[in-house]
Amino acid sequence: MGQGALRALIQRVSTAQVMVDGATIGKIDAGLLILVCAMQGDDTAKSTQLAAKISKLRIFADDAGKMNLSLMDTGGAALIVSQFTLAGDTSRGNRPGFSSAAPPAEGKALYAQFINDMAALGIPTQTGEFGADMKVALTNDGPVTLWVEV
């Protein structure tokens, strides 16, 4: 396995959608908006690991109102959007650096792999478009937002 840390910012949502050029290309109701970034050194094993972890995170309310259910338990969907800016390094100066992000071809391949890994777990998936100028709208439920790395 590589030395990277595949990153995701996940938000529990009641609705989410992504648009490109004014057209909705992905939309979900209850589930997770997953913003994902491949880092240098990431590989397909990291993608599979990240999908398994996110699908099993117990962040949905059970009948008692406690965060005790996973995306797999609830049958919720995932809207998966590539976001290389999650690689942003803000430790120096005022302009983030993105040199730790995977090169575009590798990032695109790992993004596609992550989508396939989530779908293979039985999670209904919708997606953004890698490299596109996207507009993302969501209703964060809770709010619940988590940073996940593997």
Rg for the chain (alpha carbons), in Å?
A: 15
Active site residue 85: yes
Per annotation, catalytic residue among 17, 48, 84, 114: 84
Q: How far apart are CA 63 and CA 77, in angstroms?
A: 20
Question: What's the half-sphere exposure (Cβ side, CA atoms, 13 Å) at 112?
Answer: 8
Cβ–Cβ < 8 Å for 33, 81: yes
Active site residue 17: no
What residue type is 122 in one-letter code? G
Active site residue 83: yes
Per annotation, catalytic residue among 83, 113, 125, 126: 83
Is the bond preceding 103 in cis, omega lying within 30 degrees of 0?
no
Enzyme catalytic residues = 83-85
